[in-house]
Copies of this chain bind each other. A is one copy, B any other.
Amino acid sequence: MDAPVNLQAALASFDQIYSPRIVARVNDYDVRIAHTGGEHVWHVHEDTDEFFLVLDGRFDIALRDADGAERTVTLHTGEVFVVPRGTTHKPSSPGGAILMFEPTGTSSTGDHHDGDLPGHVESTIGHQL
């Protein structure tokens, strides 16, 4: 990366929902951004934590504990949260945008997920901006 990337300009360069773009590489980690909207899918990353920063709008993360109990964390613009490795979670959003930090190659739908993928949720390790 020779020049800075403006996150709002980067977000304006695509409009697909839940289709992360890689804006930077940091060692063996990616910084990804995505537009959010509607229900994602319950999924789990067994081997990595996942960092979220809300860039715009609102982003909810439902979390399922080992006993199957669920709670939802609500994030607004400028708020950050980390989903610990091994925690099954389901993002949802009335609309917005997020920045994520996770190891290069991490799938957007985890190592496994519940049921079929909704049509608007892509399984990807991120696209180049």
13 residue pairs bridging A and B, Cβ less than 8 Å apart: A4-B73, A4-B74, A4-B75, A5-B80, A5-B81, A7-B79, A24-B51, A24-B82, A26-B50, A26-B101, A27-B48, A27-B49, A31-B51
A contact patch SS:
strand
Q: Is the CB of A79 within 8 A of B26?
A: no
A14 to chain B, nearest CB (A): 16
Contact of A3 with B78 in the complex, beta carbons under 8 Å = no
Chain B contacts for A69, CB-based, 8 A:
none
Contact A25 B82 (CB under 8 A): yes
Determine if A86 is an interface residue (Cβ-Cβ < 8 Å): no
Query: In whole angstroms, what is the CA distance A6 to B80 when docked?
Result: 6
- The total of chain A residues at the interface (CB under 8 A) is 33
Contact B78 A29 (CB under 8 A): no
Please report A residues at the B interface, Cβ cutoff 8 Å. 1, 3-8, 23-27, 29, 31, 48-51, 53, 73-76, 78-82, 85, 99, 101-103
Q: A5-B81, A27-B48 are in contact. List 16 more A-B contacts (CB 8 A).
A: A3-B81, A4-B73, A4-B74, A5-B79, A6-B79, A7-B79, A7-B80, A23-B80, A24-B82, A26-B49, A26-B51, A26-B101, A26-B102, A27-B85, A29-B101, A31-B80
